[in-house]
Amino acid sequence: MADAVLRGGVDLGGTKIQAVIADPDHNVLGQARRPTPTEGGPSDVVDAIAEALAEAAEQAGVELSALSGIGVGAPGAIDESKGTLARAGNLPDWQDPYPLAEKLAKKTGAKVVRLGNDVQVATDAEFTLGAAREFDSLLGVFWGTGVGGGIVLDGKPWLGRGAAGEIGHIPVRHHGLKCPCGRHGCMEAYAGRRAMETRARKAVDDDGEKTILFEIMEEKGRDRLTSGIWWRAIERGDELAERLIDEAVEAIGTAVASACNVLDPEAVIIGGGLGVRFGEPYARRIEDAMMPHLFHDAHPPQIRVAELGDLGGALGAALLVA
């Protein structure tokens, strides 16, 4: 197989950077993961992306410069024509438009670098390769550092004017908690991993509540509450973790039902770090939380867990240069 038909894909998240090298049949030939920098700025993130891609390429036995292109799924406001990313609130010091495509191309020697919204490319991957292959309309809900959405209508991605799918910012409570976006009452303020960690720290520091969340974090040598840490705390019966996850499920169900009342999709795919980690039982709980708010509750959408797991976002990004 000629190197020129191989593609790189990057899922740039608030917690991790996942890179893959994929062949024309979407098989993953090499993969690597790096933690997303929490300090510095865009150039530090570009360095980490390049390192992850280099490791994945080495595993695949290919030079980065020989790839036909690299796709990046990124959070924030993307200008595809300019290759810039702005307002990426879960990335360090990333507000102004930054020429991510240009900088990554220079760093890696790639011929082409294309950007797409991280959740939309993951939704496209599930639609093309994963759990939603038989549907024509789809709402992707990716529960992780934040909560993002992707939309497919009549077999095509729906981007609106560039900001469609921001399901995490559907209000679920009037004058509710402050969201990382700065607004109040957004679903993400209750369900995003970053916001949940802030709430957990406040409960411990201000209210004196007990939890093993931060003990597990130290045991695992992490500097933030990852999806795995939340899962382990739930397994051990931690009351604070259970309460915050319960509130997250309720908020997601409310917001997803609101989106379904507008779009009426055939299916909803639950993905993201927390969505995949908590899996089928929690997908059913989200479904139950949706039902009281669905207008057409006799014909609810099918709820499925993302089939491509942690590699879905990176595979979807690779589709940008297919």
Rounded to an integer, what distance in angstroms lies between the CA atom of residue 50 and that of residue 40? 16
Q: Is a pLDDT exceeding 60 seen at residue 240?
A: yes
Give the model's confidence band at 229: pLDDT under 50 very low, under 70 low, under 90 confident, else very high: very high
Tell which residue, 21, 115, 128, has the closest CA to residue 77. Answer: 115
Rounded to an integer, what distance in angstroms lies between the CA atom of residue 271 and that of residue 144? 8
Give the model's confidence band at 1: pLDDT under 50 very low, under 70 low, under 90 confident, else very high: very low
pLDDT in tens, 256-277: 999 999 999 999 999 998 999 9
Q: Record the pTM.
A: 0.86
Q: Is a pLDDT exceeding 80 seen at residue 311?
A: yes
The predicted pLDDT at position 162 comes to 74
Q: Is a pLDDT exceeding 60 seen at residue 219?
A: yes
pLDDT in tens, 89-142: 778 899 999 999 999 999 999 989 999 999 999 999 999 999 999 999 999 999
Q: Is a pLDDT exceeding 70 seen at residue 3?
A: no
274: Cβ contacts below 8 Å, ≥ 6 apart: 143, 144, 193, 227, 230, 248
Rounded to an integer, what distance in angstroms lies between the CA atom of residue 215 and that of residue 221? 10
The predicted pLDDT at position 88 comes to 85
pLDDT in tens, 173-213: 999 999 988 899 999 999 999 999 999 999 999 999 999 99
H-helix or E-strand containing 178? Answer: none
* pLDDT > 90 fraction of the chain, expressed in percent and rounded: 85
Token representation of residue 109: 């020697």
Given phi > 0 = left and psi -120 to 50 = alpha, else beta, which region is 274?
Answer: alpha
Given phi > 0 = left and psi -120 to 50 = alpha, else beta, which region is 226?
Answer: beta
Domains detected in the chain: 3-121+312-319 (3.30.420.40), 132-306 (3.30.420.40)
Beta strands in the chain, from DSSP E residues, in sequence order: 7-12, 16-22, 28-35, 69-74, 77-79, 84-86, 113-117, 138-143, 147-153, 156-157, 267-271, 302-305
Rounded to an integer, what distance in angstroms lies between the CA atom of residue 216 and that of residue 235? 12
Residue with tokens 């995490």: 168
Name residue 89's amino acid.
G
Sheet bearing 113-117, strands edge to edge: 28-35, 16-22, 7-12, 69-74, 113-117
